[in-house]
Structure 1
Amino acid sequence: MSEPLLRIDHVTLRFGGLVANADVSLDVPEGQILGLLGPNGAGKSTLFNLISGTYQPSEGRIFFRGEDITPLSAPERCRRGIARTFQVPRSFDSMNVLENVIVGGFARHAGAAAARRRALETLDFAGLAHRAEAVAGELTPPEKRRLEVARALATRPKLLLLDEVLTGLTPSEAKAGVELIRKVAASGVTVIMVEHVMEVVMPLVDRAVVLHLGRVLAEGHPTEVVRHEGVITAYLGERHRAA
């Protein structure tokens, strides 16, 4: 078997007496769309912070493309090909859309002209080219989420971490978001996504991992995971069982 793109090896993170992630091990093959699921407080965003370099684990190691990246900072991991969005979109609201994405382009290009070219390509890819000159603070919530994806893509990632990019969208907006995620994956970028909209996520992801109380509760094909007794009890609820 080939080396996975990302390997999380027995990772634990403690904040004093609180264990946010506990002995998490996970392999993510290249080219996969992985859904990271679980109730609020399960440790999903914390795990994103560990992968992206915001936090350092208390125990365990993280490997990316065969390299131990555990001691590396978030900017160093970004340069190696890990990019992310945030649960609450973070844009430079006084700058326009193009300028926001140029910021991402500088992760790969030292020159302003090259970063601008990359940003324009990415905006076209993400369906935001027509909003390039709009002030970021004036964007609608769906556009702001798409802007975050575009800025992350401008860094030319191998792995893209999407934190609830479909949450709060209308059905038509969510459908457009799904199409963009599929387009990203088809371009060769591996995707890990945290999401709560089960009806949207399950047909989209190749594999699902459910966290509960900081631990991996279940993983496998989405149709298997939603039938897992522990997942129904801890996350999906009795109405799902009845359905």
Structure 2
Amino acid sequence: MNAPLLQVDDVSRRFGGLAAVSNVSFEVGRGEIVGLIGPNGAGKSTLFNLIAGALPPSSGRILFEGEDVTALAAPDRCRRGIGRTFQVVKSFDSMSVLDNVVVGALVRHPHAAAARRKAAEVLDFAGLAPRAASPAGDLTPPEKRRLEVARALATEPKLLLLDEVMTGLTPAEAQKGVELVRKVRETGVTVLMVEHVMEIVMPLVDRAFVLHLGRELAHGKPADVAADPGVISAYLGDRRRAS
């Protein structure tokens, strides 16, 4: 069996007396799409930031390609092949769409011409080539989500961390997002995605890892996770009672 691409080993993160993430362990294999899901306040974003290097863990280790990257800052992890999007879109609105993606491409292509070629290639892949010359501030919300993905892809990641890229999208827009994620995996990029809309995530992912109050609640195949009584109670219970 191949070694996992990502290993999260007994990781915790405390903010004062609050344990946002407690003793979490899981792995992501090469070529997988793994969903990190759970209700609001479950600790998903904190765990995501720990993996990306935006926050240091209070305890535990994070390994990427077998290397302990726990002490590495986010830019160093990016150079090693961990790319990410942000839950709150972080575009440079006065810059063109192309130049926004060039910012990501410069990680691998320090010469401007090569970075622009890479950015144009990624924009075409993400379906944003017609908007390349537009200011990023003129994009619609779904287009801004795609721009986030395109900029992350321009760093040429081995592991792509997608932070709620389907949030706020209509069903039709979300379906296009699903198709883009599948295209990303077809290129050989492994995907770990944070989402709270299970109807979107479950048909897409190979495995799901569920957090609740900062701890692992369940993990496994999507159908098994969706049928887990603990998941139904913690995650789906309010929705079922409201229906």
TM-score interval for Structure 1 and Structure 2 normalised by the shorter chain: over 0.9
Equivalences for residues 95-174 of structure 1 within 5 A: 95-174=95-174
Instruction: State how far apart, in whole Å, the 2-side matches of 1:226 and 1:241 are.
Output: 17
Structure 1 match to 2:69: 69
Q: Which amino acid aligns with 1:3?
A: A
Any idea what SS the aligned residue of 2:142 has? helix
Equivalences for residues 1-243 of structure 1 within 5 A: 1-237=1-237, 240=240
CA spacing shift, 1:239–1:100, aligned 2, 3 Å: closer
Q: Deviations over 1:26-62 (max 9, x none)?
A: 1100000001110111010101100010011111000
Any idea what SS the aligned residue of 2:175 has? helix
Q: Deviations over 1:121-177 (max 9, x none)?
A: 100110100000010011000000000000000000000111111111111111111
1:88: Cα distance to partner? 1.1
Instruction: State how far apart, in whole Å, the 1-side matches of 2:106 and 2:166 are.
Output: 27
Contact 2:178 / 2:204 at 8 angstroms: preserved in 1? yes
Any idea what SS the aligned residue of 2:217 has? strand
1:201: Cα distance to partner? 1.2
CA spacing shift, 1:135–1:242, aligned 2, 3 Å: closer
| Root mean square deviation of aligned Cα | 1.4
| Matched positions, count | 243
Greater mean alpha carbon deviation, residues 163-172 or residues 130-139: 163-172
Instruction: State how far apart, in whole Å, the 1-side matches of 2:241 and 2:40 are.
Output: 20
Q: Unpaired segments of 5 or more residues in structure 2? A: none
1:241: Cα distance to partner? 8.9
Q: Which amino acid aligns with 2:128?
A: L
Any idea what SS the aligned residue of 1:203 has? coil
Q: Deviations over 1:46-91 (max 9, x none)?
A: 0110001001111100000011000101000000000111111110
- TM-score, structure 1 as length reference: 0.97
Any idea what SS the aligned residue of 1:237 has? helix
Contact 2:40 / 2:196 at 8 angstroms: preserved in 1? no
Instruction: State how far apart, in whole Å, the 2-side matches of 1:178 and 1:2 are.
Output: 27
- TM-score, structure 2 as length reference: 0.97
Consecutive aligned runs of 4 or more in structure 1 exceeding 6 Å deviation: none
1:195: Cα distance to partner? 1.1
Contact 1:232 / 1:241 at 8 angstroms: preserved in 2? no
Percent identity reads: 70
Any idea what SS the aligned residue of 1:157 has? coil
1:198: Cα distance to partner? 1.7
